C-alpha cells in the first residue's frame, strides 16, 4: 500500500469571506449623449471610409488619430476579428455635434 510522504497545502480564496463586485451605477441618458458628443467632437468623421481608415491606422499605414464613421455590422465584425478595437455607437444628429 502506497504511503503519502509529503503533503503541501495551498488555501484557495473562496467562501463567504470573498466579496464580489457588483455594478450598481447606471448612467443617465443625458450623460451618455454628452459622452458621445464629446467623443464626436474629438474625432475626425471619415464617413463610409471608416473600415479602411481603421485598418490603415491599425496597420500603421497612416498616423494614428481618433476617427468615427459608418460601418455595416459585417464590417464591424471583420474589424473585430482582425483585432481592431471599434466601438459601435448610434449616430448623433448634426445638431448634437458642435
Summarize pLDDT for 8-19 with one digit per residue, the tens. 555 555 555 555
Q: What is the pTM of this model?
A: 0.65
Q: What is the pLDDT of residue 33?
A: 87
Q: What is the pLDDT of residue 18?
A: 52
Closest CA to 49 of 74, 68, 65, 62: 68
pLDDT for 39 beyond 60: yes
Q: Which residue has the cell 497545502?
A: 9
Tens of pLDDT, residue by residue over 50-98, are 999 999 999 999 999 999 999 999 999 999 999 999 988 887 766 555 4
Angle at 31 between CA 24 and CA 94, to 5 degrees: 150
Amino acid at each position: 500500500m502506497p504511503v503519502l510522504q509529503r503533503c503541501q497545502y495551498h488555501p484557495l480564496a473562496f467562501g463567504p469571506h470573498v466579496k464580489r463586485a457588483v455594478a450598481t451605477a447606471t448612467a443617465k441618458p443625458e450623460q451618455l449623449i454628452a459622452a458621445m458628443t464629446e467623443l464626436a467632437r474629438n474625432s475626425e468623421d471619415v464617413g463610409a471610409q471608416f473600415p479602411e481608415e481603421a485598418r490603415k491606422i491599425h496597420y500603421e499605414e497612416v498616423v494614428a488619430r481618433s476617427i468615427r464613421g459608418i460601418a455595416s455590422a459585417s464590417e464591424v465584425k471583420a474589424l473585430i476579428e482582425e483585432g481592431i478595437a471599434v466601438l459601435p455607437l448610434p449616430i448623433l444628429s448634426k445638431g448634437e455635434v458642435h
